[in-house]
C-alpha cells in the first residue's frame, strides 16, 4: 500500500503541472481537509532539488491564501 502511494507521489512530483497541484493542495488543505501538503512537497524536492525555494514558496503562498479564505468563511458565516 505504501509503495503504491510513494510511487504515485513521485510520479506526480515529476509532472509538468506539479507546481499547480502543490499550490492547489496547499490552498485546499488550509480550510477543508487535514492532509498536509508535505506528502507532496517531499517528493517534489527530491525530484527537483534546485527548485526547493520555489516549491516552498508556492506551498506557503497557497496555504496563506487558503487560511485567509477560511478566516473569511468563519467571519461571514459564524
Could you tell me the pTM of the whole model? 0.81
- Residue 26, pLDDT score: 92
Helix (H, G, I), strand (E, B) or coil at 56: helix
Instruction: Catalogue the E-assigned strands of 1-78.
Output: none
Cβ(62)–Cβ(24) below 8 Å:
yes
- Residue 31, pLDDT score: 87
As a whole number, mean pLDDT of residues 47-74 equals: 93
- Reply yes or no on whether the pLDDT at 73 is more than 70: yes
CA-based R_g, the chain, Å: 14
pLDDT in tens, 38-55: 888 988 888 888 999 999
- Reply yes or no on whether the pLDDT at 24 is more than 80: yes
Q: Which three three-digit cell numbers place residue 11?
A: 510520479
Domain ranges (residues) in the chain:
2-77
Amino acid at each position: 500500500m505504501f509503495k503504491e502511494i510513494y510511487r504515485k507521489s513521485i510520479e506526480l512530483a515529476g509532472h509538468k503541472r506539479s507546481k499547480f497541484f502543490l499550490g492547489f493542495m496547499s490552498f485546499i488543505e488550509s480550510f477543508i481537509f487535514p492532509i498536509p501538503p508535505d506528502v507532496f512537497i517531499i517528493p517534489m524536492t527530491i525530484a527537483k532539488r534546485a527548485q526547493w525555494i520555489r516549491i516552498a514558496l508556492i506551498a506557503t503562498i497557497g496555504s496563506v491564501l487558503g487560511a485567509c479564505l477560511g478566516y473569511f468563511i468563519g467571519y461571514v458565516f459564524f
